[in-house]
């Protein structure tokens, strides 16, 4: 980097890249639907122009980008492995088995509560809110329709359950993305998320229990029976299929290295596909790399089996290549973030915001407000994780707060709030998939919005707030 001293940029020039980025995203993405990645690169060009104006050369800009990306590579590798996990667990029968027994435990007498619990289970094990809502969620809405149940309540329970897993499952892209941008690790992030997610879960479960439909028929509807029969016909279900998720859970408890653990779980999933499901090794490896496709059933001698549409939606997913879009977004985002760091724009903006921040509660409150604002203005959940992280990461450090407080807060106000905003992709998807408008199911999506209140309660009381651990220099005693 240049040795010469750079002048402090005026506020207008320093904020120009941020203003340009917001303009590109609101107009380019929100109005014209342009790809976010290209808009972030355009924003990086503006930031690079400002950096050049301040006296930085291309080598300085390139070094700043490379430094940012280098720190994220382990987390990016985990993102890719998540896709491999989903593909291998799909062809191995693990995910279909979890969905199968999830639907088995549906209690029509307490449809709202069981809809919530089943979707929680499926989303936790699959890591996808959209996939959970689009498969078991659709089946549950069919059950609710046949029983003349409260459709808004069931839809809210499905959305709550779908985002329970999307928030804390190690297979979820947002659960992996949040610690990347906030500067912490995956399992620390998940464990810290429990402070807000579990109370929200308990509150939702209590409400759904008392709002249950105890007077409905106890018979399992035909749609659910069709899904169960189809899964049973396509996959050989046995206890060995639970080995991959059991390994991940055991490793998380023991705090074992994430990447070797995931590779082992992928290998077991591939082996299950070959040994128990009858697929060739080549097909199983292709599912791991490119995702499972229904055409692969022919390899196991199941070409003539009639597929239920909901089952097709369930199995057609996963693969390492499915994560390449998220990886590209990470690279484009950090290209902008790395260049922006040179311009001092974040410091100017954070210093302005920091004037109203007097303690932990106001910092977390500011993070929540900023994250929700980004969700509403950009309609994109991942940007709602990225932008507040870039704004507040250093502030959390200065206040000696662990980065997992930041990663938890942006998920509390970003990931799970997105489906409650009618004009976001998640809001549109959930409303269209479940057949209930966003504003109708919003009051019942208790898991989604109640976490914000618990986040503020912990911030005010200091409960569940992790302090940063000071780095210990050689020869110095360790202190927390």
Across the chain, which has 480 residues, the per-10-residue mean pLDDT values are 56 84 82 84 92 90 87 76 85 85 74 90 80 74 71 94 88 86 89 94 94 59 82 94 85 76 92 96 96 93 87 81 81 82 74 76 91 76 82 88 94 91 79 85 94 95 85 41
Q: For the chain, which residues make up each domain, given as ranges?
A: 74-323
User: What does the pLDDT read at residue 344?
Assistant: 76
User: What does the pLDDT read at residue 444?
Assistant: 95
User: What does the pLDDT read at residue 135?
Assistant: 66
User: What does the pLDDT read at residue 7?
Assistant: 58
pTM: 0.69
Report the C-alpha gap between 154 and 136 in whole angstroms. 12
């Amino acid at each position: 980097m240049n040795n010469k001293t750079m002048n402090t940029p005026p506020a207008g020039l320093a904020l120009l890249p941020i203003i340009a980025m917001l303009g590109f995203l609101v107009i380019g993405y929100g109005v014209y639907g342009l790809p976010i990645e290209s808009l972030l690169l355009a924003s990086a060009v503006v930031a690079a122009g400002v950096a050049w104006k301040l006296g930085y050369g291309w080598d300085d800009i390139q070094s700043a980008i490379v430094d940012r990306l280098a720190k994220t590579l382990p987390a990016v590798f985990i993102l890719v492995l998540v896709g491999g996990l989903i593909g291998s667990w799909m062809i191995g029968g693990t995910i279909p088995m979890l969905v199968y027994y999830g639907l088995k435990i549906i209690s029509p007498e307490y449809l709202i509560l069981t809809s919530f619990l089943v979707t929680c289970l499926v989303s936790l094990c699959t890591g996808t809110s959209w996939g959970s809502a689009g498969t078991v969620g659709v089946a549950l809405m069919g059950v609710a329709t046949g029983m003349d149940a409260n459709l808004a309540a069931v839809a809210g329970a499905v959305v709550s359950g779908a985002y329970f897993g999307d928030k804390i499952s190690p297979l979820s892209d947002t659960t992996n993305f949040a610690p990347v941008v906030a500067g912490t690790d995956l399992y620390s992030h998940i464990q810290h998320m429990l402070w807000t997610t579990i109370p929200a879960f308990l509150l939702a479960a209590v409400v759904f229990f008392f709002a249950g439909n105890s007077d409905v028929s106890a018979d399992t509807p035909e749609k659910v029976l069709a899904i169960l029969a189809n899964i049973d016909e396509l996959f050989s279900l046995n206890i060995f299929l639970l080995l991959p998720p059991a390994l991940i859970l055991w490793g998380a408890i023991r705090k074992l290295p994430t990447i070797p653990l995931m590779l082992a779980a992928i290998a077991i999933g591939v082996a299950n596909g070959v040994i128990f499901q009858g697929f060739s090794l080549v097909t199983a490896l292709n599912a791991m790399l490119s995702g499972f496709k229904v055409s692969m059933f022919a390899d196991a001698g199941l070409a003539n089996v009639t597929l239920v549409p909901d089952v097709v939606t369930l199995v057609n997913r996963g693969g390492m290549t499915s994560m390449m879009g998220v990886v590209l977004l990470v690279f484009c985002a950090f290209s902008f973030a790395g260049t922006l760091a040179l311009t001092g724009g974040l410091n100017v903006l954070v210093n302005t915001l920091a004037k109203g921040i007097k303690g932990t509660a106001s910092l977390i409150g500011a993070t929540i407000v900023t994250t929700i604002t980004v969700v509403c203005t950009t309609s994109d959940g991942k940007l709602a994780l990225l932008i507040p992280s870039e704004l507040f990461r250093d502030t959390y450090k200065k206040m000696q707060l662990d980065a997992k407080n930041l990663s938890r807060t942006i998920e509390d106000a970003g990931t799970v709030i997105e489906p409650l905003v009618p004009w976001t992709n998640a809001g549109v998807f959930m409303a269209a998939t479940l057949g209930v408008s966003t504003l109708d199911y919003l009051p019942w999506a208790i898991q989604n919005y109640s976490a914000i209140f618990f986040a503020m309660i912990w911030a005010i009381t200091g409960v569940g707030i992790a302090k940063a651990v000071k780095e210990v220099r050689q020869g110095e005693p360790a202190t927390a």
